[in-house]
Protein backbone atom coordinates (compact mmCIF):
# COMPACT_ATOMS: atom_id res chain seq x y z
CA UNK A 1 0.00 0.00 0.00
CA UNK A 2 0.97 3.65 -0.20
CA UNK A 3 1.59 3.84 3.54
CA UNK A 4 3.90 0.81 3.45
CA UNK A 5 5.91 2.31 0.58
CA UNK A 6 6.23 5.61 2.43
CA UNK A 7 7.35 3.82 5.59
CA UNK A 8 9.97 1.88 3.64
CA UNK A 9 11.30 5.15 2.17
CA UNK A 10 11.51 6.67 5.64
CA UNK A 11 8.62 9.09 4.97
CA UNK A 12 6.80 8.65 8.27
CA UNK A 13 4.47 11.67 8.33
CA UNK A 14 1.41 10.02 6.73
CA UNK A 15 1.87 6.58 8.38
CA UNK A 16 2.15 8.23 11.79
CA UNK A 17 -0.84 10.45 11.00
CA UNK A 18 -2.91 7.39 10.10
CA UNK A 19 -1.88 5.56 13.29
CA UNK A 20 -2.69 8.63 15.42
CA UNK A 21 -6.09 9.00 13.75
CA UNK A 22 -6.91 5.35 14.45
CA UNK A 23 -5.73 5.77 18.06
CA UNK A 24 -7.88 8.89 18.43
CA UNK A 25 -10.86 6.93 17.11
CA UNK A 26 -10.30 4.12 19.63
CA UNK A 27 -9.92 6.57 22.54
CA UNK A 28 -13.11 8.39 21.51
CA UNK A 29 -14.93 5.06 21.33
CA UNK A 30 -14.00 4.17 24.91
CA UNK A 31 -14.73 7.71 26.14
CA UNK A 32 -18.23 7.75 24.61
CA UNK A 33 -19.03 4.19 25.70
CA UNK A 34 -17.83 4.58 29.31
CA UNK A 35 -19.03 8.10 30.16
CA UNK A 36 -22.31 9.02 31.84
CA UNK A 37 -24.75 9.89 29.01
CA UNK A 38 -26.83 12.04 31.36
CA UNK A 39 -28.42 9.68 33.86
CA UNK A 40 -31.21 11.30 35.90
CA UNK A 41 -30.37 11.16 39.60
CA UNK A 42 -32.84 11.42 42.44
CA UNK A 43 -31.34 14.68 43.73
CA UNK A 44 -32.29 16.32 40.43
CA UNK A 45 -36.03 15.96 41.04
CA UNK A 46 -36.57 19.45 42.43
CA UNK A 47 -34.47 20.97 39.66
CA UNK A 48 -36.45 19.23 36.91
CA UNK A 49 -39.18 21.90 36.92
CA UNK A 50 -36.55 24.61 36.40
CA UNK A 51 -34.74 22.90 33.53
CA UNK A 52 -34.07 24.95 30.44
CA UNK A 53 -36.19 22.68 28.28
CA UNK A 54 -39.23 23.34 30.47
CA UNK A 55 -39.20 27.04 29.65
CA UNK A 56 -39.38 26.20 25.93
CA UNK A 57 -42.37 23.84 26.04
CA UNK A 58 -45.76 24.84 24.71
CA UNK A 59 -46.72 28.10 26.43
CA UNK A 60 -50.24 27.78 24.93
CA UNK A 61 -51.23 24.86 27.17
CA UNK A 62 -48.85 24.42 30.11
CA UNK A 63 -51.44 22.62 32.22
CA UNK A 64 -51.53 19.69 29.78
CA UNK A 65 -47.83 18.96 30.15
CA UNK A 66 -46.76 17.54 33.49
CA UNK A 67 -43.59 15.82 34.55
CA UNK A 68 -44.14 12.13 35.08
CA UNK A 69 -42.47 9.80 37.54
CA UNK A 70 -40.63 6.89 35.93
CA UNK A 71 -42.34 3.58 36.61
CA UNK A 72 -39.00 1.75 36.63
CA UNK A 73 -36.50 3.81 38.65
CA UNK A 74 -39.09 6.10 40.30
CA UNK A 75 -37.27 9.37 39.59
CA UNK A 76 -39.14 12.41 38.33
CA UNK A 77 -38.29 12.63 34.65
CA UNK A 78 -37.17 16.00 33.26
CA UNK A 79 -38.57 16.99 29.88
CA UNK A 80 -37.13 14.89 27.00
CA UNK A 81 -35.81 12.20 29.36
CA UNK A 82 -36.58 8.51 28.86
CA UNK A 83 -35.92 5.33 30.78
CA UNK A 84 -33.53 2.88 29.10
CA UNK A 85 -34.27 -0.67 30.17
CA UNK A 86 -30.84 -1.87 29.01
CA UNK A 87 -28.96 0.71 31.12
CA UNK A 88 -31.60 0.64 33.91
CA UNK A 89 -31.57 4.44 34.16
CA UNK A 90 -33.52 7.43 32.92
CA UNK A 91 -31.37 9.46 30.52
CA UNK A 92 -31.67 13.22 30.02
CA UNK A 93 -32.40 14.28 26.42
CA UNK A 94 -32.42 10.60 25.48
CA UNK A 95 -31.53 9.91 21.84
CA UNK A 96 -31.12 6.13 21.60
CA UNK A 97 -29.31 3.15 23.10
CA UNK A 98 -26.42 2.35 20.79
CA UNK A 99 -25.38 -1.33 20.69
CA UNK A 100 -22.19 -0.26 18.91
CA UNK A 101 -20.89 1.49 22.05
CA UNK A 102 -23.10 -0.49 24.47
CA UNK A 103 -24.27 2.73 26.08
CA UNK A 104 -27.04 5.29 25.75
CA UNK A 105 -26.55 8.41 23.67
CA UNK A 106 -27.94 11.28 25.69
CA UNK A 107 -27.46 14.86 26.81
CA UNK A 108 -23.85 14.55 27.98
CA UNK A 109 -22.23 12.29 25.38
CA UNK A 110 -24.26 13.08 22.24
CA UNK A 111 -21.88 15.83 20.98
CA UNK A 112 -18.87 13.57 21.58
CA UNK A 113 -20.69 10.74 19.80
CA UNK A 114 -20.95 12.98 16.71
CA UNK A 115 -17.21 13.74 16.95
CA UNK A 116 -16.51 10.02 17.24
CA UNK A 117 -18.58 9.24 14.14
CA UNK A 118 -16.76 11.99 12.21
CA UNK A 119 -13.31 10.69 13.18
CA UNK A 120 -14.40 7.11 12.45
CA UNK A 121 -15.57 8.19 9.00
CA UNK A 122 -12.16 9.78 8.29
CA UNK A 123 -10.42 6.58 9.42
CA UNK A 124 -12.61 4.45 7.14
CA UNK A 125 -12.17 6.73 4.12
CA UNK A 126 -8.40 6.81 4.58
CA UNK A 127 -8.33 3.06 5.24
CA UNK A 128 -10.30 2.45 2.05
CA UNK A 129 -7.80 4.53 0.07
CA UNK A 130 -4.91 2.61 1.64
CA UNK A 131 -6.50 -0.75 0.84
CA UNK A 132 -7.22 0.30 -2.76
CA UNK A 133 -3.65 1.54 -3.24
CA UNK A 134 -2.34 -1.89 -2.28
CA UNK A 135 -4.34 -3.75 -4.91
CA UNK A 136 -2.20 -4.81 -7.90
CA UNK A 137 -4.10 -5.80 -11.03
CA UNK A 138 -2.37 -8.73 -12.73
CA UNK A 139 -3.51 -12.08 -14.14
CA UNK A 140 -6.62 -13.24 -12.30
CA UNK A 141 -5.26 -16.10 -10.17
CA UNK A 142 -2.04 -14.32 -9.29
CA UNK A 143 -4.03 -11.19 -8.56
CA UNK A 144 -6.50 -13.08 -6.33
CA UNK A 145 -3.68 -14.84 -4.46
CA UNK A 146 -1.88 -11.60 -3.65
CA UNK A 147 -4.92 -9.38 -3.04
CA UNK A 148 -7.62 -11.50 -1.40
CA UNK A 149 -7.12 -10.04 2.12
CA UNK A 150 -6.91 -6.48 0.82
CA UNK A 151 -9.99 -7.06 -1.32
CA UNK A 152 -12.01 -8.37 1.64
CA UNK A 153 -10.78 -5.44 3.74
CA UNK A 154 -11.78 -2.97 1.05
CA UNK A 155 -15.33 -4.32 0.74
CA UNK A 156 -15.76 -4.37 4.53
CA UNK A 157 -14.52 -0.78 4.70
CA UNK A 158 -17.01 0.25 1.99
CA UNK A 159 -19.88 -1.32 3.96
CA UNK A 160 -18.88 0.28 7.27
CA UNK A 161 -18.23 3.63 5.60
CA UNK A 162 -21.75 3.62 4.16
CA UNK A 163 -23.25 2.79 7.57
CA UNK A 164 -21.25 5.45 9.43
CA UNK A 165 -21.94 8.10 6.77
CA UNK A 166 -25.69 7.50 6.84
CA UNK A 167 -25.68 7.47 10.66
CA UNK A 168 -23.71 10.72 10.83
CA UNK A 169 -25.90 12.48 8.26
CA UNK A 170 -29.12 11.39 9.98
CA UNK A 171 -27.87 12.64 13.37
CA UNK A 172 -26.75 15.97 11.92
CA UNK A 173 -30.19 16.41 10.35
CA UNK A 174 -31.96 15.67 13.64
CA UNK A 175 -29.59 18.00 15.53
CA UNK A 176 -30.29 20.79 13.04
CA UNK A 177 -34.00 20.35 13.84
CA UNK A 178 -33.33 20.10 17.62
CA UNK A 179 -35.00 16.72 17.90
CA UNK A 180 -33.78 13.31 18.99
CA UNK A 181 -33.99 9.90 17.39
CA UNK A 182 -36.49 8.80 20.03
CA UNK A 183 -38.68 11.89 19.49
CA UNK A 184 -38.47 11.48 15.71
CA UNK A 185 -39.45 7.80 15.80
CA UNK A 186 -42.08 8.02 18.57
CA UNK A 187 -43.62 11.44 18.03
CA UNK A 188 -47.18 10.11 18.37
CA UNK A 189 -46.44 8.44 21.72
CA UNK A 190 -44.78 11.36 23.54
CA UNK A 191 -47.19 13.55 25.50
CA UNK A 192 -45.30 16.85 25.24
CA UNK A 193 -45.18 16.47 21.44
CA UNK A 194 -48.63 14.96 20.97
CA UNK A 195 -50.30 17.84 22.85
CA UNK A 196 -48.24 20.57 21.23
CA UNK A 197 -49.66 22.99 18.68
CA UNK A 198 -46.23 22.94 17.05
CA UNK A 199 -44.78 19.94 15.28
CA UNK A 200 -41.49 20.51 17.11
CA UNK A 201 -41.67 23.00 20.04
CA UNK A 202 -37.89 22.83 20.55
CA UNK A 203 -36.87 23.99 17.06
CA UNK A 204 -35.21 27.43 17.18
CA UNK A 205 -33.75 27.49 13.68
CA UNK A 206 -30.84 25.55 12.20
CA UNK A 207 -28.03 27.90 13.30
CA UNK A 208 -29.21 28.26 16.89
CA UNK A 209 -29.98 24.54 17.16
CA UNK A 210 -26.45 23.63 16.07
CA UNK A 211 -24.94 26.31 18.34
CA UNK A 212 -26.86 25.12 21.40
CA UNK A 213 -25.98 21.48 20.72
CA UNK A 214 -22.23 21.83 20.13
CA UNK A 215 -21.54 24.90 22.26
What are the catalytic residues?
98
Q: What is the DSSP string of 144-163?
A: HHHHHHHHHHHHHHHHHHHH
Q: What is the DSSP string of 12-23?
A: -HHHHHHHHHHH
Rg (CA), the chain: 23
Closest CA to 69 of 81, 57, 54: 81
Half-sphere exposure of 16 (CA within 13 A, CB side): 4
Question: 10 Å Cβ neighbour count for 123?
Answer: 21
In whole angstroms, what is the distance from residue 12 CA to residue 35 CA? 34
In whole angstroms, what is the distance from residue 126 CA to residue 211 CA? 29
Amino acid sequence: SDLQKQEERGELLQPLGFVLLVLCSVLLYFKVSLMDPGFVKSEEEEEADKSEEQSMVIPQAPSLIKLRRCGYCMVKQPMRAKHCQLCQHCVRRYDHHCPWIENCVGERNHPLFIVYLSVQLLVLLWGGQVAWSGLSFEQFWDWLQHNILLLISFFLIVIFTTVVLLLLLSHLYLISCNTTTWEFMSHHRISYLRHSDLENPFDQGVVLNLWRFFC
